[in-house]
Structure formats: C-alpha cells, structure tokens
Structure 1
Amino acid sequence: MAEQVEMPRVKLGTQGLEVSKLGYGCMGLSGSYNNPVPDGEGIAIIKEAFSKGITFFDTSDIYGLNNANEYLVGKALKQLPREKVQLATKFGVFKEGGPEVIVKGSPEYARSCCEASLKRLDVDYIDLYYIHRIDQSVPIEETMGELKKLVDEGKIKYIGLSEASPDTIRRAHAVHPITAIQMEYSLWTRNIEEEFIPLCRELGIGIVPYSPVGRGFFAGKAVVESLPPNSRLEHHPRFTRENLDKNKAIYFRIEALAKKHECTPAQLALAWVLHQGDDIVPIPGTTKIKNLHENIGSVKVKLTKDDLKEICDAVPINEVAGPKANEFITRVNAKFANTPLPKRTLQD
C-alpha cells in the first residue's frame, strides 16, 4: 500500500482555476515512449491518481493513434466525479511524425477541434483548452477570438498556450486572459527561466511544465535500465548513444544527492520543479502505478534554497549533451512561435 501523501491544491493563474499541485500527463498511456497500455490499465492508473489527490489531467487530440488518448481519458472520467476533475486538452497539431509537424490555428479549425474533443471525451465542457503549438501563418488574435467565443458558450472554461513565444503570449492575453502556459521545464531544460517565467508572473499566468523528469532520464530510464521497445526516445538527441554516455554523469550526480535527501532521483528532480513556485504545476506521466506513487511522493520532499542551488549545480546546462528536441519539433517550439499581425493592424 502506498503511503498517503497530502496533495496540496494551488491556483493555476489568476483566473480562478484551482488544481492539484501535481498533475498527471496522460500521453504515455496511448504510446509514445512505450507501447500503449490496455484501456483497463490506463483507466486504473487515472483512477489511482485521482484517489491520491491528483485532479488535474492533461491530454491532447494528437495523442495516440486515432485520438486514442482522449477516448481513454473520457472512459476514465465516467468513473470519477466530473466536477472534481480539472481536464486539460489541446488542439493545433494537425499532423505529427516524419520530417515535419503541421500546425493549424484557423478559427474554423479551433472550433471543429473543440467540438470533436468534447465528443471524444464525452463531456459538456473542457476546463483548460490549450493551443498545442502555434500556427505561424495565422494571427494569434484570430485563433484567440474563436476560443473566447467557446468560453462564452461554456464549452471551455479557461484558455492555455503551449510552446508560445513571449510576443504571442502577450498578444493572446490581450484578447482573452491566458490561464496557463505549458512548456518543457526540468533540471536539464531550464531555458524558460530567463524570459518566460517572469512574463507569466507579470501577467498572472500559471506555468505547467511537461517532461519534468527529463522524459524519464532522471528516473534512470536508459541510464540504469534500457529504453522500452518502440520508444520515441531512441531518436531523441539526448538519448542517442554518444550523448547519453555524456549525460550519464549528470544522472549519477543526482542519484547521489537523492540518497542524501532519502528519496529517489526522480523524486528529487520533480521536487526541484515543484519548489520553483506555487504557480508551477508539473504534469509527469507514467504507465506504472509504482512510478505514479513515487511521483506523488515528491510532494513530501522538502528542499532549502541551498539544496536547490546544489541540485542545480549538479546539472550544469552547458554540460547537457544534445538539444532538447529533434530539429522538426524544434521548428514549431516557442522560439519560432510568432504570428503575423492581424490585417487591420497592418492597415492602421
């Protein structure tokens, strides 16, 4: 029996959304870093997370074959009290895989995706609806205008952005308040600290780190274990053999610090993210109940300022081998996620 951990609740952004301090990323249940799990297992994990105080669940219309992840989450929700769950899903990635990622952000596409997600999830509303990636050909004001209408219609409650540039965040927020920004953030991916976190705090936007355990790296995946078959990580720059050999030293340093704090390396990595602020709500994913309990245990790990610095110093960013994403994924990440100005602005 897993030890009971009191799960804190926090406000995500300043628009009124309250969530568990730790969320759960559902993507892996439908395959990506591993084979998809059977529906029964996936539902059991989601229910177990809820029973331990996690109420914030994250999915997307692009996760799994033929939207499998949204269907799975929808089935799990049927066995949970809907009003106590904060459900996040996303749209905007039209096609993924191969040499490119195709992103769409037209108002018509936004609406059709929202309607389709509501059907697949079999819910009346989505708590937090994210633009998953930014369409660099459509003014963000146009996409946001449609999402604002969906809020007015009660189909979504709050709006989020994922991998948006600072300019896009500001312009989107001017149309309708943004509740959360989802970005990759972990001990070995810290590029949001300089500009994004201060901007979000200035605007009252919550921060939702994805891959907070470094895609399993700080749990020892691929370092002391081997990667699961069919894992997307086989092609991830930081997990390719040469880079992985260099990165192992970082893992072993964190492992040594974890012993000092009487926790696992994954718990230490997660606790470090959790300690970055009350407005930061990471969404680690896992396909195993044991790992879920381990992630939840990270909430109990207490770290001082000195501890946080020591942990940071153990992962010098300039020593991390390999970029945080493949080239074709990088092309649709925040760095390039600016959009043209609306036509009326160009004419003014």
Structure 2
Amino acid sequence: MAAPAVALAVKAAIAAATDKRTWKVIAVIIAAALMPFILAILLLMSFLSGGAAHNNDAVNLAFHGGMISSDVPSEYRQHIEEMQDAFRQLDDAIAQLPIESGDGSLDSTRVKAVFYSLYFGADSLQEVDYDSFAGCFVKTEIRTRTVQNPDGTQTEQSYDAIAPLTDLNQVYKNIERLLGRAVTDDEKSNADEIYQHTFGESGTGPSDSSQILSTAGLISPIGSNWRALVTSEFGPRIDPINGKATVHTGIDLGIPTGTQVHAAKDGTVSKVAWDPDGYGNYLMIDHGGGLVTLYGHCSQIIAHVGQAVKAGDVVALSGNTGHSTGSHLHFEVRINGKAVNPRGYLP
C-alpha cells in the first residue's frame, strides 16, 4: 500500500511543480519574506552611495548645513555630521594655503566634492590629513621677484609660489600618491556629479546672494559662491609685490575686471578715494553701529559720498587698480575702526 501512496505523492508534487499558479504563490511568499532585507540593502546603498544615485539631501546638508531630519537613521546622521566637520577642517586647510592674489583661487567646492566622493560613509575620518588633501589641488612653482635693498639697489630673488592646479588629472594623481591607491572612474564621476549639483545649488551671481544674510546682516558683495573665489586671506602674509611680511586687512576675491560689486548692507557711502600705493579706486560704506565695509582696487566707482545704498545695490565695478597683481576685489570689514576677518561676517 505504501508504494501506491508514494507514487500518488510524487505525481501530486510534479503536478504542483508544473502549475504556474503554484509558482506564483511561492514567488509571492518568498518576495514577502525577503522584502525587508531588500529594502534595507537598497536604503543602505542610497545612503552610502556618492555616485549617480547619491542622496541629494545628504550632499546639501554636508555642503550647506541645515537641520537633519529626526527620521534619518543614526548611522546615516553620523556620516553627514562627520562630513560637515570634515568640510570645516578642509576650509581651514584651504585658508592656510599661501596662494598669491594674482594666481586665481582654489575652488573649495571642487575640493569638497572630490573628498565627499572618496570618504562619505567611511568607517572613520580620524586619520585623514586635511592639509595634505588640500595640497593635492595646488602646485609649487619657482618664481623670481625684485627686492629693494637698503642701499637703493634691486636684487632678483627666487621663491616658491603656490598656485591652484587647473589640471584635474594631476589632482587625482596627487591624491592617488596620498592615498596609496587608484582613484576609480566611478569615484571621479561621482565627484563631478556632486560638484555640478552643489555648484548649481549654491548659485554664482550677485543677485541670488542679495537674499542671503549672514548673522551680522551682511550679504556677499559678489555672489553666494564667494568662498570659491578667495585668493588671499585676512591676516599675516607675504606681500605679492614687494615680498615683505605684512598684514592683509581683508580678503581678496578673484573676479574679472568689470564685475559688479554690491553693497554688503544698507548704509551710507562715507568715502570715495584714489590710493595709488594701496587700495587703488575704493569706497567705504558706513552701516552704523561702528560697522564699515571697504571695497578696493575697483576699475570704476559708481556710488558717491553721502549716497544712501541698500544691500545688493551696485556701488562699483571690480578692477586691478592700486597695489594689485591681478583683477580682484579687496573686501574689508571694520568694527569701530579695526579691521576684522570678513569670513566671520559674510553668509
């Protein structure tokens, strides 16, 4: 009796195996069982990927800050916060690079986009050498400058100059030497996409910055992408013309001659002057409460002394006048007559 029973069971199994409806039921059961695992994998991939499917919210939060949603998983939140901290350290490292004002600017957005593509979701950023990473984006050149001797004679002096690299391939070669591994094509593509996304989000024209106020109530005089255009920082530096140690009382923003310069805040134009050995064509705006801004090396001054201006009004055109090695805007912030770092007052 057992044999016929087994035979019937085998036939039933074969019939079930060849029944499409049975397989559909089995497929549904398997899919339902695996769905939580599939979703978890997809979620993790979207969180940690810096590539074509990178999470735009994570990129925006890392580059621009903002509140991280409470719905974000703790591990994902940690990755964003670590990247925000890394960007602050990269900003400090970039600020320390002694790039001369006539050499253009180091695109900090590009530096961060490459860093993001390489490190977002990394187990730890504790061992990252931020100074060396920023150094991958610049080159050292031997240059000469004329130095005035005490006896009135002049001497040609050689020195090492730091300038931004324009060849991205060389940048990646430098990074590969730093990391001790190859940078993959996917990582390069990811960096390009992140850069384009972030650059588009930040905007480049003065008009968009007029709606963005810093905590001090100032806007950028040249647009919201001003950080990527800084060619010389506030503080001690070697004068790019005479080679002497000096103190830079503002920041230099590398922009083409004729670029519109906007008032950083409502105020009254308190001074318009010509300083051939310093600021060149420049103007100053008194914003009240001891706050004054200065705009130097202009090709043309549009505002006049006593004129009331609003934040965003065009007050001058950028240039290369006075003590200058290239077209840029020298932007200065003074509090009660003392020059302070503009980075602390711009948005």
Q: Into which bin does the TM-score normalised by the smaller protein fall?
A: under 0.3
Give 1 or 2 for the bigger CA radius of gyration.
2
The TM-score normalised by the length of structure 1 is 0.25
Q: In proportion to residue count, which structure has more strand?
A: 2
Structure (1/2) with the larger helix percentage: 1
